[in-house]
Amino acid sequence: MTPTPALLAARPTAPVAAPSPPTLQVLHLDEPLPGFPAHRTYVLVPADGAGLLSWLQSVDADGPRFLVVPTQAFFPHYAPVLPPAACAELGLASAGDARIYAVLTVPAGDVPAATANLRAPLVVAPATGRARQIVLSDATHPIRCPVRR
């Protein structure tokens, strides 16, 4: 199932803005993650073969890293209302353009108790890599939603 060399060669090589999938996405947070004020630049690194788990890794030496999951895959019914002002700040034409991730908390030695933070999703503008952890005003979204199904 690997792409043929002919297909690869057919791709334009000129001044592309490389949207190729293997590229690690760099995320620029216009506001640091709460609790980590010193770090604003992260990369999203695939953490499993299926591409469902990703590391959100600070590019800074000794910077933090997190596990994040796309909420669409893990929580198909999750439909947060993103504040229009925040979307505009990220350069999103509409909230529908956003990619939304949830930060996982995995207790040491107790993976089944893993939870996802649905109250403060990481909202990414895919085109620009600008991102922000948006704290939703809707308190019905749990900070610790069980991941185990």
Partner 1 sequence: MLTLTRSVGETIRIGDDIEVHVVEVRGGTVRLGFKAPREVTIHREEVYRQIAEANLLAAQVTADTLGALAAFAPSAVAAGAAGAPSGPAGAAAPEPTGRDAQA
Nearest-angstrom CA–CA distance, 98 and 70: 11
Pick the stretch among 3-11, 20-28, 92-100, 114-122 that binds partner 1 (CB under 8 A).
114-122
- Calculate the alpha carbon distances from 35 to 27, 81, 86, 142 in Å: 17, 23, 19, 18
Classify 65 as helix, strand or coil. Answer: strand
* Site for partner 1, residues 60 to 99, rule: CB under 8 A: 64-67, 69, 73-78, 85, 88-89
- Binder of partner 1 out of 10, 30, 59, 91 (CB under 8 A): 30
Alpha helices in the chain (DSSP H): 5-10, 71-74, 84-90
Q: Please give the angle made by the CA atoms of 46, 38 and 140, to the nearest 5 degrees.
A: 65
* 106 is a site residue for partner 1 (CB under 8 A): yes
Minimum gap (Å) between residue 5 Cβ and partner 1: 27
Point out which residues bind partner 1 (CB under 8 A): 30-31, 33-36, 47-48, 50, 52-53, 64-67, 69, 73-78, 85, 88-89, 103-106, 108, 111-112, 114, 117-120, 133, 135, 139-149
